[in-house]
A and B are shown apart, each in its own frame.
Chain A
Amino acid sequence: MAELLASGGSLEMVRTAFENGADAVYVGAKGWSRRRAQYEMDDPGIVEAARYARSVGKILRVAFNTLPASAEVPLFLARTDALYAEGVRDFILTDPGLMMALKNRHPDTILHASVGCTIINVQDAFFYKEAGASQIVAECRMGMETMRKIRREAGVGLEVLVHATTCFTLLGRCTMSSYTKHEHRVDAAGKDHFPGSPNRGGLCYRICLTEWDQVGAGGEVEAEGITLPNPAFFLVDDIPDLIDLGVDTIKIQGREYSVALVGEMVRFYRELIDACVRDRSSFRIEPWKERMARIAAERDAERREKTAGLIGESLTSP
């Protein structure tokens, strides 16, 4: 049965996700994951979360899925060595060079290729498998046919995001935020958090979500106050198909949301998946949609507030 993977932006969120039915939880190593520092965890917190996961027979994955500077590679190796020594074996990475380095150093680690890898075809899946990944995250708009092909041919696990904030462009291939504002904040360990770059440090100012005017060559306004298409998605209809397809992991993104909301989302998907698996032939999706709509409304309210804050932050100097 597909594993349900949930987000862990704090120790409290990790516990809540497990208590509500997650099979696995991912957390971000501070300075190294695709979210800002407040939603990441330091090493003692990660170690405690990993112990808790083991104590309840579940899995904790640690995301090191930013794209660092070359000079930071020794920091990465030291930090993953330390977590490895504490029993952490499951990591989420983006940089294929880091994948190979970690796999060579610790062959028994389990590496998943992050959504930041922008895996959009079966050959991409093969590439990251050869770099050391045993599972890949499908790009957010990947169609079922491609997923099926990856499952059939690539010999890697397949992970699909069912709840995520995506991007106007392909996730992992966008630098619009850092074009407008990009800073350097080096922490005590020597890691640059690259505020403004989601690829490098996680903090994205989401400028794609502000209102834009489309202007022609002569300065004429062609369209006023438009938004770039970038909805946060919340899949329900696709869940039975994903289960039928045999995806290995169904992932709920959302470290930046409240603990209560994440708990609610995890519980929703846990019950939905279990109901679907228990009696596939008579399973009907319609009753679940109403419940999902209520959760989505809560999610959207939190998202709007955070987005407004981020865009405001992007307007401050430098």
Chain B
Amino acid sequence: MQPFELIVSVACPGELSGTDLSPYDAVCLGSPYCRRVDGNYAEALDLLAGTVTRLHGMGKKAYVSTPATPREADLPHVGRLVDAAAAAGADALEIHNMGVLRILREKGGPVPAHMGAYANVYTHLAAGVMRDAGAVRVRPNAEVALEEMGTIALEGRVEVEILVHGKIPLGVADGCFLLTEPEETDPKCPKACREEHWLASRDWVLKTVGKGVLSGRDMCMLEHLPRLARGGFRVFRVEGLYESADYRSEIGAVYREALSSVFAGGEFRVEGRWGDVVRRHAPKGLCNGYYFGAAGRKYVGSVLQDGNSGV
């Protein structure tokens, strides 16, 4: 049995292509933000079976994301997505919306549910309700501190997934911020969200992906991995959506090596080359404040903080 699981999220074949998946144990397929993302695995159901089979052939688990904000008109598609994921042999569905969880349950739970970042899991009681509806894993809301996550896992009797690296999901909207015309007719769709766009005001920077608002800084828990392991956490994610193949490949390699070291026991130290990689891929800086009860954009730590060029 693997001592830990490292997951990466990829939205579409364009993101999967060129990504070195060797550091990862599982891939979460699809974007929860927008059904119009080109090749979105949560939309292009004909791609699912082949991709899941391919990932299984590589010895990896395949999870399938579902829309974070499905309106009533989207529910028939959600039903088909659940069926397609089950038929493809997906290992779990990532769910953000309670209605989608209920649809899965009404279908007899053909696939386990993992509650995603927008499911608003804040308490062990909520996790327990979701567990009773078919969830086996939850990713608590970004604002939930590590200490609280331990309680959710223990008292909620569910596995807890931790975002260890990447942009933090901060908000999801119906309308695309990057378009000026309706999405069906705006020629900028679906290209606009594949480009890089930031929102800057004062000393705040956010990343916009059209229907999603992400942190400008990259969550980074590299120096805190021993603490996560001691806390009993075993499931870790690198947020790969809207990033480059190099980002997913190189960040994954860093965390694979670091986590392997942590779970092997013995002394752990952050290698200088790891620091170089995470800093190179984080043009707006690193953060992890939420996990320690601070503002999300803050960085708590003594190794990878801004200005420490020693690592």
Which residues of A pack against B, CB within 8 Å? 67-71, 73, 94-98, 100-101, 117-118, 120-128, 130-131, 141, 143, 145-146, 149, 167-170, 172-176, 178-182, 184, 194, 196-197, 199-200, 207, 210-217, 222, 228-229, 315, 318
Contact = CB atoms under 8 A, between A and B. Distances in A.
Contact of A122 (B99, B200, B215, B294): B99
A97 B129 contact: yes
Given A67-B120, A120-B71, A199-B122, A181 B295 contact: yes
A101 B124 CA distance: 12
Given A96-B126, A121-B74, A122-B99, 4 more contacts: A176-B170, A182-B295, A197-B143, A213-B201
Interface in B174-216: 174-175, 177, 195-202, 204, 206, 208, 213, 215
Nearest to A179: B296
Given A68-B123, A126-B99, A178-B295, A215 B200 contact: yes
Contacts of B123: 67-70, 73, 95, 97-98
A277 B111 CA distance: 49
Interface of B: 68-72, 74-75, 97-103, 118, 120, 122-130, 133, 141-145, 148, 151-152, 155, 168, 170-175, 177, 195-202, 204, 206, 208, 213, 215, 289-290, 293-298
A123 B75 contact: yes
B129 A131 contact: yes
Nearest to B169: A175
B151 A70 contact: yes
Contact of A170 (B75, B125, B172): B172
A70 B121 CA distance: 10
B71 A199 contact: no
A73 B122 CA distance: 11
Given A70-B124, A127-B101, A173-B69, A216 B196 contact: yes
B72 A146 contact: yes
A175 B143 contact: yes
A126 B71 contact: no
Contacts of B126: 67, 95-98
B174 A124 contact: no
A141 B175 CA distance: 11
15 contacts: A67-B120, A70-B155, A71-B151, A94-B120, A120-B72, A121-B99, A122-B99, A124-B99, A169-B171, A170-B172, A176-B171, A180-B296, A182-B296, A199-B143, A217-B195
Nearest to B205: A215
Q: Which of A121, A126, A210 has the most CB of B within 10 A?
A: A121
Given A145-B72, A207-B204, A175 B170 contact: yes
A209 B279 CA distance: 30
Kindly list the 8 A-B residue pairs having the minimum CB-CB distance in the complex, ordered from nearest.
A97-B125, A123-B99, A169-B171, A179-B296, A217-B196, A67-B122, A97-B126, A124-B99
B201 A179 contact: no
Contact of B289 (A131, A168, A182): A182
A130 B98 CA distance: 11
A205 B201 CA distance: 14
Contacts of A174: 170-171, 213
A214 B173 contact: no
Contacts of A131: 129
Contacts of A117: 98
A67 B199 CA distance: 28
Contacts of B201: 207, 210-213
Contacts of B122: 67-70, 95, 199-200
Contacts of A213: 199-201
Q: Which of A124, A175, A211, A228 has the most CB of B within 10 A?
A: A175
A302 B204 CA distance: 26
B72 A122 contact: yes
Nearest to B122: A67
Contacts of A97: 123-129
A175 B214 CA distance: 10
B198 to A, nearest CB: 4
A100 B141 CA distance: 20
Contacts of A318: 294-295, 298
Contacts of A196: 295
B128 to A, nearest CB: 6
B128 A200 contact: no
Nearest to A131: B129
Q: Which of A68, A98, A127, A207 has the most CB of B within 10 A?
A: A127
Contacts of A175: 141-143, 168, 170-171, 296
